């Protein structure tokens, strides 16, 4: 019986930590929700809706040297969709940025992401961008020699120059670079109903090489604000129960079966409302 109690205690503690850990992005499986890709310059009212996300305020400034072609709103295509594995809504960007030896093409892309409120839910149950935060996958990049492709992103609370920074991430591609460099996820410091995104995209061929960028994806994790406190409280409670049982502080007279049923019920409730 003592051995069973210790095994159950270890399981409770491990599951509690698992519940408290943020959800991670699974590999992207993009499903279009907005039809064929559209040039940023041709978006109706400059906006795009995918699920409960409104993407707006698109702006792009491009510069190029050494024979590369500068980018603009008309050369960047966008498509709204959803990751079928995680349920997260996001964007697929398509472009043709190329640089040979001694050439560079850069683009600064900015846009706003807002959660569309659900009129059927009270304010306390509305979704916000948070949890695992923002994920970016650069799937259409290549480089040879000392060429390099890099996308650096900063997420702000609003479009003001002095806006608080909520997060940042960077993906890159070089010859023989590891696959892990092509994907990154960052948690936001503060969950928010809207964020402002600024991307610095650079494609350079270096002294003797070449680089190309044709596609990348962006996903936004969504959570309910009260969920954070409830999950943490539940995780702390389960951790405490596990530790107490592990050190034999709970009375031996307690029915182990009742503890198992109680623990399973709590875990089911936590995952249901997660």
When comparing pLDDT for 23 and 80, which is higher? Answer: 80
pLDDT tens digits along 89-145: 999 999 999 999 999 999 999 999 999 998 888 888 888 898 667 889 988 899 999
CA distances from 121 to 125, 127, 131, 221 (A): 6, 10, 20, 19
- What proportion of the chain, given as a percentage, has pLDDT over 90? 54
Work out the number of other CB atoms within 10 angstroms of the CB of residue 41: 14
Q: Which two tokens stand for residue 192?
A: 């928010």
pLDDT tens digits along 182-227: 999 998 999 999 999 999 999 999 999 999 999 999 999 888 764 4
When comparing pLDDT for 84 and 54, which is higher? Answer: 54
Mean pLDDT of the chain: 80
pLDDT level of residue 14 (50, 70, 90 thresholds): very low
Task: Please say whether the beta carbons of 51 and 82 come within 8 A.
Answer: yes
């Amino acid at each position: 019986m003592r051995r069973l109690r210790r095994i159950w205690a270890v399981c409770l503690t491990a599951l509690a930590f698992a519940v408290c850990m943020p959800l991670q992005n699974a590999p992207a499986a993009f499903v279009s929700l907005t039809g064929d890709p559209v040039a940023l310059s041709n978006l109706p009212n400059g906006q795009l809706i995918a699920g409960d996300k409104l993407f707006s305020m698109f702006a792009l400034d491009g510069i190029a040297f050494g024979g590369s072609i500068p980018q603009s709103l008309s050369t960047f295509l966008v498509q709204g969709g959803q990751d079928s594995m995680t349920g997260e809504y996001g964007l697929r960007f398509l472009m043709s940025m190329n640089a040979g030896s001694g050439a560079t093409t850069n683009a600064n892309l900015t846009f706003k992401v807002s959660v569309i409120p659900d009129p059927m839910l009270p304010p306390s149950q509305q979704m916000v961008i948070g949890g695992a935060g923002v994920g970016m996958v650069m799937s259409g990049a290549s480089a040879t020699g000392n060429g390099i492709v890099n996308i650096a992103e900063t997420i702000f609370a609003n479009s003001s120059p002095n806006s608080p920074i909520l997060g940042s991430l960077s993906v890159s591609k070089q010859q023989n670079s590891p696959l892990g460099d092509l994907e990154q996820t960052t948690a936001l410091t503060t969950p928010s109903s809207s964020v402002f995104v600024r991307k610095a995209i650079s494609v350079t061929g270096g002294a003797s090489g070449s680089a190309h960028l044709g596609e990348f994806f962006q996903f936004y994790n969504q959570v309910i604000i009260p969920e954070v406190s409830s999950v943490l409280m539940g995780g702390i409670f389960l951790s405490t129960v596990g530790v107490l049982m592990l050190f034999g502080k709970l009375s031996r007279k307690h029915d182990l079966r009742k503890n198992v049923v109680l623990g399973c019920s709590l875990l089911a409730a936590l995952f249901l409302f997660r």
